[in-house]
Each structure stands twice: as structure tokens, then as C-alpha cells.
């Protein structure tokens, strides 16, 4: 099978913890049709600690047993010495079946980004440690490179980093030197389009020469961490009257990155396969007050598209994305229709394609990734 619609990239995050409560496994990428459409899988996350890349969950990564029924190739894992099980083993089987798919191992993310500050103190040692993990002889054939998800260099995320504006460029340079010219090196980066904001805090343009593509996270702009509202969309593509923070929308980030000299051919547009929501809301239109995050399956205020599409169907659009009002709850999320429009934008802007967070949020028949694939043709 081949994917790559119109030569565009479709990258999707696959989380190692999804094999637990979410019961989402590599085989699900086959059964929901994603494997035939993905060009890249971003495997999340490895940890960054002590200035080094390390595995975050060895059981899920390479030890979990898969029986024949749950395995990509229909064969049960073995307990032979040296046999590769877990997600890594399943990804190996997936790549055998879909040889066009490339897999990058992502390190960091919101939870593990605090470790990048130490890593930035000796980027050569950091890069060497990452190479040892990604290219471990037990699974070197599984990964085609590395993804760095530092939230955020020289700015604040879960923790605040003060490594300096050059730290990110220096890290990417060290990774390219260590991994070599043929490896994929990618990075998920901020999509904060505000003046003097997180894009300006790091030298993303200078680092671009070492990176195959960037994934600006054009989602998580607004959510129920502001528990009283105002209600606003998770992933607006364009600005709109009443937007709570000017510059918090996808097109602004894309234009800002392009304006710094990063070509569209190194940028993917981000799509969330989930929504964010509030409860205690009395008005359907955006900008309403709320009393807190809406109840949800795993974490209040955030829910998968596959749940929201029937729990709280879309009632309107704002800023190029959808919103829904039901039973005192207000949610915003992308639908196949709004994703189609966003893919049109990606093509018009000459972007390399699009990426999404994350695979388990889609429906059992892959509604959202289908909309991405069709929209990029």
C-alpha cells in the first residue's frame, strides 16, 4: 500500500501509554485505515533526564506480549531471548507491511520537557545518548530518526527554561552531527504567534537547516485551564472578533515562522484529534462564561473526537474550526469538514503537509485521518 497524497506528509503521534486505558495498539492503525494514509509515525514519548535521552516505559515499548489476534502480522510474540515485543515489535511488523511509513522517536512532550535544560548544557553528550537509545541494536530498524518536543526552549511550559535563544539551534546541530545526513530529525514547536512570544524566544529559523520538518502545535490555544472562560476554540486557524488573545491562532504562527525565513516545505500544520471544553456555560456562541472544565473520560476539559462527535455534535464554526454547545457544556474540536478546509489552507500555503495529536482520538474507521488525506490530494 502507498500513501503520500500529492506528495504531502501526514504525520501522526502514537503514544506509548495508549496501550493501557485507551486500549489503542499499533494494530489499530491497520484496522482503522490510518496505516494506509500515514507517511510518518511520531512515537511518543521518550524521557529526557540527567542530560540524556532515556526510555519512559520499557514494558510498553519493547516487552509487552502481543498474541496472534492483537498482532499486526497475526503471529503471537515469543519469549525467545532477543525477541522484540511491545510497541517496537509491532511497529517493526507495521513497517514490513507498509514500507512507505517512516517512524521517528519523540523525546520530551509537556511532561518530560523539564529535562531539556540540563541537556542543553552539553548538547554533544545529549545527542550521543539519544542516538544510543534510538539506534539500539535491538530495534535500530524500527526508527528512521528522532523528534524533539521541547516545550519550550528559552520560555515557560511546565517549567521555565532560560538556556538562551541559541540553545535549540545548538541542540539540533548536535543531533544532526550525531545522527548523520540520512536520519530524519524533526521537532514539534510552539505555535505562539504573539509578538515577543515563544516563537521569538528561540532561534527556530537558525535551527531549520538541521531539521527535516517542524510541527508547529497549532492547537491548545484556549482551554478550561481558564476555568471561568471565556469559551474559545482549541485550534483556531484564523482570528475572529472577540478572540481572547491576539496572535493565538494557526495562520499567525505559520506566517510568523515563514517571516523568519523558514520555508513552507519544512512546516506541517497541526490538527488535534480531540476537543477542549467547559461546563456551566449558558450561551452557544464563543466568549461565554463557564464554571470549570467539562467532565470527560480521562481528564476533565479534554475529550477525544470519537466521543465528542456523538456526545456533543458541532453546532457552529469559529476561526476555521468547529464548536458545540450541549447540556451546559461548550466544546471545540475539528471535524472532517473543518479539517478539509485546514488541509486546503496547508496546500495554499505550500506547507509540507499536516500532522495530528494523536492516533487514538480518531473513530474506528478513521474519519479524521481520511479527511486529512483527502484534503491534501
Handedness of CA 249, 195, 355, 46 (dihedral sign): negative
CA 217/CA 335 separation, integer angstroms: 17
Residue 298, class by beta-carbon neighbours within 10 Å (0-12 exposed, 13-18 middle, 19+ buried)? exposed
The C-alpha cell that represents 195 in the structure block = 509578538
Q: Are 161 and 116 in contact (CB under 8 A)?
A: yes
Catalytic residue among 135, 151, 178, 367: 151
Q: Are 154 and 89 in contact (CB under 8 A)?
A: no
Place of cell 456555560: 281
Query: For the chain, what is the largest distance between any 2 Cα atoms, rounded to a whole number of angstroms?
Result: 62
CA 302/CA 308 separation, integer angstroms: 10
First to last CA, the chain: 16
CA 22/CA 65 separation, integer angstroms: 17
CA 126/CA 117 separation, integer angstroms: 11
CA 365/CA 44 separation, integer angstroms: 23
Look up 151 and say whether it is catalytic. Answer: yes
Q: Are 84 and 92 in contact (CB under 8 A)?
A: yes
**What are the beta bridge partners of residue 49?**
52
For the beta carbon of residue 259, count every other beta carbon within 10 angstroms: 10
CA 43/CA 318 separation, integer angstroms: 31
Active-site amino acid positions: 151
Amino acid at each position: 500500500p502507498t500513501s503520500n497524497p500529492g506528495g504531502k506528509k501526514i504525520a501522526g503521534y502514537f503514544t506509548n501509554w495508549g496501550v493501557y486505558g485507551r486500549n489503542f495498539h499499533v494494530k489499530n492503525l491497520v484496522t482503522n485505515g490510518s496505516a494506509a494514509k500515514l507517511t510518518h509515525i511520531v512515537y511518543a514519548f521518550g524521557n529526557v533526564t540527567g542530560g540524556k535521552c532515556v526510555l519512559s516505559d520499557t514494558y510498553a515499548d519493547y516487552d509487552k506480549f502481543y498474541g496472534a489476534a492483537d498482532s499486526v502480522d497475526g503471529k503471537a510474540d515469543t519469549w525467545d531471548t532477543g525477541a522484540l515485543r511491545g510497541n517496537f515489535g509491532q511497529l517493526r511488523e507495521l513497517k514490513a507491511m507498509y514500507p512507505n511509513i517512516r517512524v521517528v522517536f519523540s523525546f520530551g512532550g509537556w511532561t518530560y520537557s523539564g529535562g531539556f535544560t540540563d541537556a542543553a548544557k552539553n548538547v554533544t553528550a545529549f545527542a550521543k545518548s539519544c542516538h544510543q537509545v534510538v539506534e539500539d541494536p535491538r530495534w535500530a530498524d524500527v526508527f528512521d530518526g528522532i523528534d524533539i518536543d521541547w516545550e519550550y526552549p528559552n520560555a515557560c511550559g511546565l517549567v521555565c527554561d532560560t538556556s538562551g535563544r541559541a540553545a535549540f539551534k545548538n541542540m539540533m546541530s548536535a543531533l544532526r552531527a550525531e545522527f548523520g545526513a540520512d536520519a530524519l530529525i524533526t521537532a514539534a514547536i510552539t505555535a505562539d504567534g504573539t509578538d515577543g512570544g515563544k516563537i521569538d524566544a528561540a532561534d527556530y529559523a537558525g535551527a531549520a537547516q538541521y531539521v527535516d520538518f517542524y510541527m508547529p502545535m497549532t492547537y491548545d490555544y484556549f482551554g478550561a485551564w481558564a476555568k471561568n472562560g471565556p469559551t474559545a476554540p482549541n485550534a483556531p486557524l484564523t482570528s475572529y472578533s472577540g478572540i481572547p488573545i491576539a496572535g493565538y491562532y494557526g495562520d499567525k504562527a505559520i506566517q510568523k515562522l515563514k517571516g523568519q525565513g523558514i520555508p513552507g516545505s519544512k512546516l506541517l500544520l497541526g490538527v488535534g484529534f480531540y476537543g477542549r471544553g467547559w461546563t456551566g456555560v449558558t450561551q452557544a456562541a464563543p466568549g461565554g462564561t463557564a464554571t470549570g472544565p467539562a467532565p470527560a473520560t480521562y481528564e476533565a476539559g479534554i475529550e477525544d473526537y470519537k466521543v465528542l462527535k456523538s456526545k456533543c455534535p458541532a453546532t457552529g464554526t469559529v476561526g476555521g474550526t468547529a464548536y458545540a454547545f450541549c447540556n451546559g457544556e461548550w466544546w471545540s474540536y475539528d471535524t472532517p469538514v473543518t479539517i478539509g478546509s485546514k488541509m486546503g489552507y496547508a496546500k495554499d500555503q505550500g506547507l509540507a503537509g499536516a500532522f495530528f495529536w494523536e492516533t487514538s482520538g480518531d473513530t474506528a474507521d478513521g474519519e479524521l485521518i481520511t479527511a486529512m488525506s483527502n484534503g491534501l490530494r
